[in-house]
Every structure is written in C-alpha cells, then in structure tokens.
Amino acid sequence: MKVGIVGVGWFGFQPEVVDYSFREMMFKAAQRAYQDAGGLDPRSDVDAFVSCQEDFWEGIAISDEFAPDPVGGAMKSVYTVTGDGLQCVGQAYMMIKSGLFDVVVVESHAKPSDIVTLNDVMFFATDPISVRPLSLENIHALAALEARAYMDKFNVSEEHLDAVVEKAHKAGSKNPRAVYASPGRSRPDTPVVADPLREADIAKFVDAAVVVVLASERVAKSFNDTPVWVAGAWWSTEISSLELHDWAFPLHAREAADGAYTQAKIADPAKEIGFAEVDNRYSFKELQHIEALRLAPRGMAGELLADGAFCPGGRLPVNLSGGALAEGVPFEVHGLARLSYAVAVMRGDIKAQVDRREAAVVHSWRGVPTTTSTVAVLRI
C-alpha cells in the first residue's frame, strides 16, 4: 500500500502574522490544503488528524486540546506529537500503511512572534541539573560549540559558510515565501555572535502553519491527479544529555536518513536523489546534513557546495527554497516547510532549476538543544 501526499496548504511565513492567532493560522492553512486536495471535506473525508506542537511554544498547557477544531477534526481521531511536523508525516505514513486509515491530515503551526522571552523558553529545554544553572545569554552558543567541533574536525573554513549563506539568499530570492532572503547578503559583513557563528549564519524565526493531506494509494487519485508518494520516513533521537552526543557530526540525521533510504530502497543517495530540502537553521548545519544524508562524503560538503554541486541547476540542488536561512524557522513547522516546497517542485507548481524531480529527500532537525532529526524520501 503506497502512501501519497494529495494536498498541501500553508499560511503565514511572515516575521509576525499580526491579525491571526495560531488557531486561525491552522484554519487558513487547512482550508488551502483541503482545496488543494480537490475540495476535501474534513468532516466526512478524513479518518484521522495528527498535529505536531509543543506547549511552551504556544504558552498554553495541554495544548493538544486546542488541536482538533481548527483543522476540522473535532469529535474525530486526533493525535498530537511533540515533535517536528515531519514526524507527523511519519505517523500518518504508518497509520495508512497499517490499512486502518485511508486519509490522514498532518498539521503544524508556530507563532514565535508571540513569545516575548524566546531565549528563556528555548533555554528551558536544556538539562535542569547540568546546564540550566549556567544561564546562557544566547542559546545559539550551543550551536556554536557544534560548529567549531565540526569545522575543526573536518577542516571546514569560514569561506565554506560564506558560500552556504550566499547560496541560501540567492535561491531564496526566487521563493515568494522566503521573507528573509536578501541576495546581497554578505556573511563576513555581519557581526560575530558566538564564534565561529556570525549573524548571517543564524536563521531568524517566522510565523507559519502548514497542513498536509496524505492518502492511501486506493483513494489518493480521487483527491489529486498528481500525488507525491512518501517512499520512506524515519526519525532518530540521540541520548537526552547534550554532553553525551556527538558534537562534530549529527548522528541523529544519519540514522534517520539510513532508515528512510532503506524503506525507499535507495542504495546510493548521491546518485538516486534528484534534489534535497534540508535543515539549514545554521549555515554549517546545511553542510553537516548534506553529509549525514550521504549526499556528500563526510567533510566534503563545503568544497562541493563552493564548487556549485548543490546550487540551483547543480548536480544535486540542496535547498532550492533557500531553506530556513531564507524562509525563517517556524519551530515544529520546519519539516513541513521543507516538505511542502519539495512537493511543489515535484508537481511542477514551482519552476525550479533542477534536472531530476522524480526522487527527493527532505530533512528536518529540531534545533538546539535537541538531537532529533526526521527524514522523508519522496517520489513521483
């Protein structure tokens, strides 16, 4: 039983969505997704809903209870996952594969502009015994520790990071929802925040909601003539203590990729994958994730990227959208942002500079201080 994506809708992708609460943003994204799925009626056509969210992002305890009605799911089977939206796609994939569900809706939303003390909220995710008493003024410092460990171990230079930033902003300037894309952005001209990270290495936050409709092969074409098939979805979390994770390489991303590739029967990703959308909420993360997804050998992504291999029109374009550096980070929506862009490219809705649209890989990481990645392989 194949699992297809038959509808995608998004709303927001603005630094501040002033007029709508997160529930209304969910509603707007859902309306669009259901239109994209041939006018699907969530009250009668959907078997289950899965929502990816986190209480502290919303300022509401037990926010699961707020999930059903904005997407048309009241009095229906609704599951909430405290994780990235791409993990919800994994849940929907399993539910449909089980044969018990034909149509499952996936949703995630984020309104970082509502959070007045975002650094404190993010820092709240660190270990209360071993890390919290240090009172970090900047949670990005944890990413900077990873950046130096990676760059030191694999001889990655600041020029490689310059190339990632330049590529992201150039690519993003063609993506209508990439509000932070600035083609003239020059990384060396931005101030050092936590070395080796400069301001331009760190993605900004963005308000957004994305809804995705998945359906079994049996019913998919009744909603959409051009479904994009989910060929594999896998995720992985390392040890909960940051101190015990690998500072130089995202093993969680490697594990997630290998799981998804096995499901999708992909033996040589660098040859079989046509393009990729990966997490680049920090510039060096794009290089790490390219390597973790086996699209380049370890330590080689920087050189290959600087040579143009991962640029639009290159051998294997990565982040044709510009990624999070251009679109911003919408918390747990991030994976669905990467997925929705890839789906639009595969369906031809977005005319991107890519030779091979038949197979794509999508990756998301939940950001510091997490060690969770999800990877999905898509085919048409």
Partner 1 sequence: MRRVKYFPEVMEIEAYVYTAGPVGTKWLESLRAGKLTAAYCPKCGRLFLPPKMYCPFDFEEVKELREIAPVGVVETYTVVERDFYGEPLKERRVLAFIKFPGVEGGLIHYVKTDKPRVGMKVKPKWRDERKGLVTDIEYFEEA
- Residues in contact with partner 1 by CB under 8 A are 18-19, 56, 59, 116, 118-119, 122, 124, 127-131, 133-134, 136-142, 144-149, 152, 191-197, 199, 239-244, 247-248
Our CB check for partner 1 shows the closer of 17 and 360 to be 17
Count CB neighbours of 271 within 10 A: 10
Q: How far is the CB of 202 from partner 1 (least distance, A)?
A: 10
Q: Nearest to residue 362, comparing CAs of 250, 275, 296, 299?
A: 275
Count CB neighbours of 1 within 10 A: 10
Our CB check for partner 1 shows the closer of 36 and 201 to be 201
Positive or negative, the Cα torsion across 152, 157, 161, 164? negative
Our CB check for partner 1 shows the closer of 123 and 310 to be 123
Our CB check for partner 1 shows the closer of 65 and 349 to be 65
Q: How far is the CB of 130 from partner 1 (least distance, A)?
A: 4
- Judge whether 178 and 326 are in contact, CB under 8 Å: yes
Q: Across-strand partners of 8?
A: 212
Q: How far is the CB of 330 from partner 1 (least distance, A)?
A: 18
Q: How far is the CB of 346 from partner 1 (least distance, A)?
A: 36
Q: How far is the CB of 4 from partner 1 (least distance, A)?
A: 38
What are the φ and ψ backbone dihedral angles of 267, each rounded to 5 degrees? -95, -35
Q: How far is the CB of 197 from partner 1 (least distance, A)?
A: 8
Our CB check for partner 1 shows the closer of 195 and 349 to be 195
Residue in the block written with tokens 């093993």: 251
Question: Rounded to the nearest 10 degrees, what angle do helices 85-97 and 334-347 cross at?
Answer: 60
Our CB check for partner 1 shows the closer of 195 and 358 to be 195
DSSP-derived letter for residue 281 is S
* CA 198/CA 280 separation, integer angstroms: 14
